[in-house]
Each structure stands twice: as structure tokens, then as C-alpha cells.
Amino acid sequence: MNLVKRVTDFLRLFVSLLFRSIFIHGDIEGRHVPFLINLILLIVQVLVARGGVERVLIVLSSVLLTYLARGSSRVIVYSGVLGLIPSTWYFIASMPFTRDFFASALIALRVFTISLSFICFFYFFNPVEISYLLRLLRLRNASLYPALTWRVIPHIMRDMETALLVGEMKGAEAWKSLAVTVLTTEEYVSLYEEGLFSKPEYEPSYYYSVKHTLITLSILTFLTVAGFLT
């Protein structure tokens, strides 16, 4: 029973952290930066983080600076705790092979930094932009799905968190709570299918923030130059 409770607690914690790290705060201005620039920043962060400890710390600084400069400092704690999950695992798993605390710590720090970079990328991802671009490409039937998918996922995650909490209080196994989530997802699917018949076309309205785009470009420039010099 203790093992079942621990698995349920871990899943509920993971879902809660994932929800609070990516899907909160709504349509803030910091999320109105071109997708391509965010993607390039992520790629550069991953490439630079493959170096030594100095480069890893530079990348970590760039991620934290991105959160702070684009008005999302409150997400850092949740994202950091979520990033600790894979980094802790890699630290423990690498110790028998490296037999060196500092080498394993560097591996864990690199994994934490790269994980935080991906979390940051998905947090600032704006599905409305993708819908807007698809609309410009005259793919009207496909323009609805990015925004719709990103809208449905948080609801499913909250339902999963609630189902896991109820299952924990009843002492039920985690898979039973996940089964309830699957049934809830099927209900969402049927409801959204009905809604799509009444709204066959989606006309997204989107804008790009010059301020936050320049901030992101500045961080990207800093990261590129610092990575080149170290």
C-alpha cells in the first residue's frame, strides 16, 4: 500500500508541476515572441550546454533571464522543481559509472539546465501564433487544432490531478485514477466534436510584441557570444 501511495503522490506532483510550469498565466505579452526565435534560442541553449560547467552556467543564466525579463518570474520555482526530477535521476544513475561526485554533479546540472530550457520553451509557446500562421497559409481547416489542443490539455491535466487525489484518499491504485482520466478525455472529445460542427472555421487574432522580441534577441545574442568566448 505504501508503494501505491508513493506512486500516486509522485504522479500527482508531476502533473501539478507540469501544469503550473507550462499552462498558467494565460495570454501574457511575453508569449508574443515569434516561434522561430524561441526555437533558435532553445537550439542554441542545448548546443552550448553540451560544453563544460562554464557553458552550462551561462545557459542556466540565459533561461532564468528569459523568465525574469519576459514577466514570468513566478513560474521559475515550479519549473525548477520539475527540472530536478530528471536531473536527480541522472545524478543517481551516473554515480556507479563515474564514481566521481563532481562528474555526476556536472551531468545532473547539465540535465537540469537543458530540462529547464525545454520547459521555458513550452511555457512561452503560443498556439494561437501557429493557428494564425496556418490561417495565413490558407489552411483554414487546420488552424483551429493548435489552439484547441493547447486549450484541452490543461483541462485534462487538472482532471487527472483531481482523479489521483480522490484515488489516493480512497487508497485506490494509480492506474484506476488514470482510467477515470481516460473516460473524462473521451467526454471532452465528444463535446468538442459537437462544437466543431457549429464553428467550422477559426479566425485567430494575433500580434507580435516588439519589446519582448527584442529582449529575446538580446538574450540570444548574449548566449551566442558568451558560448563562443568560453
pLDDT tens digits for range 97-147: 888 899 999 999 999 999 999 999 999 999 999 989 988 888 877 777 888
Q: Which domain holds residue 118?
A: 32-125+207-230
Answer yes or no: is 17 within a domain: no
pLDDT in tens, 138-184: 887 777 788 888 888 887 888 777 777 777 777 666 667 777 777 77
Instruction: Output the CA torsion sign for 137, 142, 148, 153.
Output: negative
Query: What value does the CA radius of gyration of the chain take, rounded to a whole number of Å?
Result: 20
Assess if residue 26 is contained within a domain.
no
The total number of structural domains that make up the chain:
2
Confidence (pLDDT) at 201: 64
**Same domain flag for 119 and 48:** yes
Residue 206 vs residue 139, higher pLDDT: 206
Q: Any residues with CB less than 8 A from the CB of 17 and at least 6 apart, and which?
A: 78, 81, 82
SS3 assignment, position 28 = coil
Q: What is the pTM of this model?
A: 0.86
Please indicate, yes or no, if residue 24 is contained in any of the structural domains: no
Instruction: Give the per-residue pLDDT at 93.
Output: 93
Task: Say what the pLDDT of residue 229 is.
Answer: 85
Co-location of 218 and 168 in the same domain: no
Q: Is residue 40 part of a domain?
A: yes
Residue 4: pLDDT band with limits 50, 70, 90: low
Residue 19 is assigned to a structural domain of this protein: no
Which range, 144-158, 171-185, 193-207, 208-222, is most confident?
208-222
- 132 and 111 inside one domain: no
Q: What confidence score (pLDDT) does residue 175 get?
A: 66
Indicate whether 110 and 43 sit together in one domain.
yes
Residue range 12-71, pLDDT digits in tens: 888 889 989 998 888 899 999 999 999 999 999 999 999 899 999 999 999 999 999 998
Torsion sign, CA atoms 96, 101, 102, 105: positive
Average pLDDT over residues 183-206: 67
Q: Are residues 121 and 213 in the same domain?
A: yes
Question: What pLDDT sits at residue 67?
Answer: 96
Q: Are residues 144 and 162 in the same domain?
A: yes
Whether residues 201 and 212 fall in one domain: no
Are both 42 and 135 inside the same structural domain?
Answer: no
Residues 168 and 214 placed together within one structural domain of the fold? no
Q: Nearest CA to 219 among 90, 68, 88?
A: 68
Assign 202 a pLDDT band (cuts: 50, 70, 90): low
On whether both 113 and 217 belong to a single domain, the answer is yes
Q: Name the grid cell of 222.
A: 548574449
